[in-house]
Structure 1
């Protein structure tokens, strides 16, 4: 109660200060914030535009709708190849369960990156269980924004690597506010289909000076899958994603602009996906095979988002935006967990079996389900990972532009109250294998495998001032978070929710400072530097210290019309790196337990460049060229032994797992106005699946790969466009990892063609 009263008072003082700030925002001061200066970001965006990304006092990238539609990717992993410093770990080839890290933050389930949609945290439970088992579909997004460095402390609670925001389609689309529509239909390899439609716009409410907006959007994606189950079962997916928006706003030119927007989004997914990969020998022989032991594996996801945003311009230089939100996610991933041991007394994890198949011949025979093979009655244990998530909160941002003497200020003050929870109510079923078919032996009791609830409640406050004087911009910022964590364990034998067997509570309070600097050497050359405190909170019930680091960066930006270039070096010095045991990391430990990796150093270089050769050479057609390169060097600075499978026994100086040293993406195209062709080449060096040094063992090597994509589109009319693309043109077979269990193939060659209509 004391904390609530304190917070309420702080919010009241913030709002009370609004008129005073408005009075300082004189016309002279506002004039200082010219188009080329850093601007106060839209309260629900991270970057806002390419120009704002260049103006920020820290590394940032903005991918607009034109960029996203160039190759029309439906896999977010392929989109993020265009962002330096981002590391991805593919899993099933379609981007259904993205694994994204930034600057060595770790990739497992994107749990160390602040993920947002329209400025709102979108992971099912961002504080208590941030693993992204639900993820926004990239096909319905109009922009992707990534911020690293000191700018990351604005978004929290995960500030070590950075933040990613996905912007959904605004009411009226991206080309105007009048009633308009968009329809895209495409089909391709492996029974692939995508249908995406949007219809909406704004209209005047008589002569009231107000406008009403509405919009409906529907995305349907499906595929038969490129893997082949030994028994011929399904390996594809079906996703329906629907968004409805309503809006009320003042008409353009109003003395005090204001708007109210309501968003409702729902997603339903069924995917016949598994954690079971292949032994290395089987991968080399038939990489797209799936063992019969995974035939009943299936993921079902239901997700709902409700979001209400009110924005008010208190004066020409002062805006207050408040957003209330609620996310609900239920997911049940029914998947093979382990196999009966040879003695018949227990179970062997599927990761252990595939790591050393010669030591587990009986278990491999069960997984393969060869013709004529008959197992015992207790051969395979399949876990119904049944979980329900809720998150809700309210966040408010006050943005002000004003001047004090020779200094121009762009001040942001924000507060957020947030609560989320993860409810696990899981069971284990036992199956037998007969002639390649799995038959149910025993259905388990719901709640007998896991019966617990993790909860988090957090207050977060942030203040930042962009201070500009002549060619120098200084951006100090400070974030404060106070987080209450609770884990409640209930009985599993028999399952009950009446009286808990154990309740563990903890609290974390953290101050996160940051400082960004930019200096314009010339009108074309800008120096950039920054430092900030990185943080990731422990989970409910964990007894480890929070993940903390000090992060530094410095670099240069060059922009001369058709040519742009940026190079930024960074150092993330971890005081304490955290690893969280999940089934997706291979298991071998108690799911949910967290491990300390001690001090870790991650350094690197991020380079981006773009050149419109057609414009520069005076050609009558465009020749867009771009380069994105990331160099990463990461190692442990302490020695220890851990039950966390990706680490194992670590010696100081060992490399971190799943961090390739080199990543390079080259893109080039020809633009003749009505038609365009583009090519992309992505090169990733090899990486380790387990921490270590020296030569990488075959069973731990994620081999280097070079993937080529092609795309073309033709504007048949001003409102109709034909498009086609081919991903992985050379059909390169590549192993993307050894987790969750066994070797896993990336997507083979996939061709797609379709039609876009605008009306």
Structure 2
């Protein structure tokens, strides 16, 4: 696919981007945008932004004093759209719960995947899929985690999903090893971002050029033939900074160890200070995945009788290439009015070649016919590859421009800060399915059909386009210890689809559009410098995918955008110098939550308007320096205990709701239609917990942490089936806990940190997913390596 489409990619990017980027760049100087939520405008509790494994200290965990920039080495101002920021008080005026996963947490705990890292954020549930974090399924506060469709994911302030409006599925996720930090924000503050602003906003901040030239090389490996290398080097020379970052890793996949995956990720970034008032950032990224990861999971019998981490589908191939760019221009018009304009876009080529599947009974006889996708009969004892093959070949083009402004002013004598702006995005996908029904072998793009009377061997040929316009405004009124923050967002979305196979190849064209106004208001009140309360309410929206709102015949489906009201009230603070906490009560009231019709993405499922659903619960986090509590402030050592806990008390269907399953997806004697009103939503665990105990000795350069991550039981379908179906796609998913550990030793003379890591050290075997059959969780993983700074 890379060879087939690379030239077309460059030509398409050149045609679409060059002309429009020149026009957009000209416009941007009149409409340039503010750096999101600027550090001086907000406050952040230390309980939300974690320091390096303990309360703030002047030394880092390696025993070195932080480097002090020289007078003449004044850092370049970087045009960066942030959700929370890095200032110690960055959450003070944000009317919602939030968390920053710091660079120290990622590096010292050696987070293997984004799944591990996000589990330290209260309210976040990440369903594992491939075991390497390549395609995470992120859910917040009981929302369906499938493909992370209900979370707005950004990198350096711009969206990175396949098609943020038309198909926000997370088939791509950048390696966690190049992040400087991860910002997660829930509540009304997320109206500044979109289109998905129901569950939360996640902003992945990549490393920026350092003031002094510096490089890092890290290498580590472990069982499952895991090898990882990460290299970055950058610096600032005069008014210009540069950074290059490269990651390569490969492994037997933890989900199914008889298939492999490898990933390469290259990023080049430069920052230039044009003047004291204007700075520009440019970033280019190339990402490539080549893996044997498929879709099909295991049946109940296969999971019980064979190695649960092997698959008979070992001839699948996933070939994924992404080329992305991001240009940001920051301009200060006056001391009170600043702007940042983001130009961004990407091209993706995604070819997934898979074997068709055949369900069989206990004697190996076929159950039903050969199936593409995941339509495995419910009574299947096992599943085997069929002598057929298909390739889903897809290309995506996305680009956008977003000017944002930040204005400090007075309103009726009240100190105020306004954030406002607009965005235009264009998206297009070209989706083709090649079918090889003559044999199960051949080139990935082999197109053969031995079905009598068939006129084509293509299973799909769709061109889908989105034009989306958004504008947003938020006013922050600061009245001493009280802050009131009203705001709104407007989204207008145009969808269209051309099914080129319909009407004997003449095609069928259909289009649809939506306009939604999303208001919100929040407030914070600081009792004193150590405690504050916050509250907020906002209208959330997530648009339906193009494929779900326009049919293959061009007809428009009555599938409205997801709409909800989100309510929050909470408190956060630092009662003592050695402790911090955050407590949040949340309530999500959906008018129309779009979920899978029957089995949460498995057999016989389509997306439907589910009507009213309701989520309620509590998030709690605390962090204590136990050594400081006993001995007073200790600059040399920390003993840190932390807990992040979520109780999703309710996540259920509230409206009139029926589950409809037909044909082979039904068990013998099972009713086709069942009322599920009052049932719990699929993949919504009631309890989530991450707790850890860490020790740091700075003069010696040593740190260690022992951690547990737990998830309670959850249902795999809307019928809340407890006893699993033989095909493994419906049934209770039992809760689990894993035990992780990380040990670091810094050797100052050679500027190298040596580390050892254990994941799921007790080697627990458990189920994490049933949507396409059973997927097992991570096995025990043991890794060791070193990081050299030069």
1:558 to 546, 562, 573: 573
Asked if structure 2 preserves the Cα contact closer than 8 Å seen for 1:431 and 1:439, the reply is no
Within the alignment, does 1:66 sit opposite 2:66 as a pair?
A: no
Shift of 1:648: 7.6
In structure 2, do the counterparts of structure 1 residues 675 and 354 end up closer, same or farther at CA, with 3 Å as the change threshold?
farther
User: Structure 1, unaligned stretches of length 5 or more?
Assistant: 1-7, 22-29, 205-210, 359-363, 368-378
Name the CA distance, whole Å, in 2 between partners of 1:572 and 1:465: 24
Shift of 1:405: 5.7
Within the alignment, does 1:223 sit opposite 2:248 as a pair?
A: no
Partner of residue 128, structure 2 = 90
User: Structure 2, unaligned stretches of length 5 or more?
Assistant: 1-22, 49-77, 450-455, 550-556, 667-671
Partner of residue 774, structure 2 = 743
| Structure 2 counterparts to residues 11-90 of structure 1, below 5 A | 44-49=81-86, 51-53=89-91, 55-90=93-128
Partner of residue 448, structure 2 = 444
Residue by residue over 1:50-77, the C-alpha shift from the partner in whole angstroms, topping out at 9 and shown as x without a partner, is: 6413541111111110111122123111
Partner of residue 259, structure 2 = 235
In structure 2, do the counterparts of structure 1 residues 574 and 238 end up closer, same or farther at CA, with 3 Å as the change threshold?
same
In structure 2, do the counterparts of structure 1 residues 192 and 394 end up closer, same or farther at CA, with 3 Å as the change threshold?
same
In structure 2, do the counterparts of structure 1 residues 469 and 750 end up closer, same or farther at CA, with 3 Å as the change threshold?
same
Highest RCO, 1 vs 2 (Cα 8 Å, sep ≥ 6): 2
Residue by residue over 1:323-347, the C-alpha shift from the partner in whole angstroms, topping out at 9 and shown as x without a partner, is: 1111111111112343289789943
Shift of 1:653: 0.3
Shift of 1:35: 6.8
Name the CA distance, whole Å, in 2 between partners of 1:32 and 1:242: 32
1:677 to 697, 704, 726: 704
Name the CA distance, whole Å, in 1 between partners of 2:102 and 2:40: 27
Name the CA distance, whole Å, in 2 between partners of 1:476 and 1:439: 57
| Structure 2 counterparts to residues 260-659 of structure 1, below 5 A | 260-292=280-312, 294-339=313-358, 346-348=369-371, 351=374, 353=376, 355-358=378-381, 364=382, 366-367=384-385, 379-404=386-411, 406-430=413-437, 443-444=447-448, 448-491=458-501, 499=506, 501-540=507-546, 542=549, 543=557, 544-560=559-575, 561-579=577-595, 585-589=601-605, 594-618=607-631, 621-632=637-648, 633-637=650-654, 638-642=656-660, 649-659=674-684
Residue by residue over 1:265-318, the C-alpha shift from the partner in whole angstroms, topping out at 9 and shown as x without a partner, is: 0001111111111111221333434332x1211111000111111101222332
Name the CA distance, whole Å, in 1 between partners of 2:643 and 2:212: 37
Match of 1:52, SS state, is coil
Residue by residue over 1:438-483, the C-alpha shift from the partner in whole angstroms, topping out at 9 and shown as x without a partner, is: 9999843797101001211111101111111011111111101111
Name the CA distance, whole Å, in 2 between partners of 1:120 and 1:32: 21
1:662 to 687, 710, 713: 687
Partner of residue 215, structure 2 = 181
In structure 2, do the counterparts of structure 1 residues 701 and 432 end up closer, same or farther at CA, with 3 Å as the change threshold?
farther
Name the CA distance, whole Å, in 1 between partners of 2:444 and 2:272: 55
Match of 1:284, SS state, is helix
Match of 1:282, SS state, is helix
Name the CA distance, whole Å, in 2 between partners of 1:583 and 1:431: 31
Residue by residue over 1:696-718, the C-alpha shift from the partner in whole angstroms, topping out at 9 and shown as x without a partner, is: 65751111101010001011116
Name the CA distance, whole Å, in 2 between partners of 1:133 and 1:34: 33
Match of 1:623, SS state, is strand
In structure 2, do the counterparts of structure 1 residues 224 and 34 end up closer, same or farther at CA, with 3 Å as the change threshold?
closer
Name the CA distance, whole Å, in 1 between partners of 2:214 and 2:525: 43
RMSD in angstroms over aligned alpha carbons? 3.3
- The size of the alignment, in residue pairs, is 693
Partner of residue 72, structure 2 = none
Partner of residue 207, structure 1 = none
Shift of 1:587: 4.8
Match of 1:615, SS state, is helix
Asked if structure 2 preserves the Cα contact closer than 8 Å seen for 1:239 and 1:269, the reply is yes
Residue by residue over 1:713-747, the C-alpha shift from the partner in whole angstroms, topping out at 9 and shown as x without a partner, is: 011116211111100011111110112x2111111
Partner of residue 51, structure 2 = none
Shift of 1:584: 8.9
Give TM-score, length-normalised by structure 2. Answer: 0.82
Match of 1:56, SS state, is coil
Within the alignment, does 1:137 sit opposite 2:168 as a pair?
A: no
In structure 2, do the counterparts of structure 1 residues 257 and 615 end up closer, same or farther at CA, with 3 Å as the change threshold?
farther
In structure 2, do the counterparts of structure 1 residues 406 and 615 end up closer, same or farther at CA, with 3 Å as the change threshold?
farther
Name the CA distance, whole Å, in 2 between partners of 1:600 and 1:545: 15
Give TM-score, length-normalised by structure 1. Answer: 0.85
Name the CA distance, whole Å, in 2 between partners of 1:734 and 1:333: 27
Asked if structure 2 preserves the Cα contact closer than 8 Å seen for 1:277 and 1:290, the reply is no
Shift of 1:226: 4.1
Partner of residue 741, structure 2 = 710
In structure 2, do the counterparts of structure 1 residues 716 and 511 end up closer, same or farther at CA, with 3 Å as the change threshold?
same
Shift of 1:431: 7.0
Partner of residue 52, structure 2 = none
Name the CA distance, whole Å, in 2 between partners of 1:12 and 1:291: 54
Name the CA distance, whole Å, in 1 between partners of 2:396 and 2:597: 19
Asked if structure 2 preserves the Cα contact closer than 8 Å seen for 1:563 and 1:611, the reply is yes
Name the CA distance, whole Å, in 2 between partners of 1:31 and 1:462: 20
Shift of 1:34: 8.7
Residue by residue over 1:489-545, the C-alpha shift from the partner in whole angstroms, topping out at 9 and shown as x without a partner, is: 102797x6xx5x211111111100111111112332211110000111122251211
In structure 2, do the counterparts of structure 1 residues 649 and 523 end up closer, same or farther at CA, with 3 Å as the change threshold?
same
Give the stretch that moved more between structures: 610-619 or 689-698: 689-698
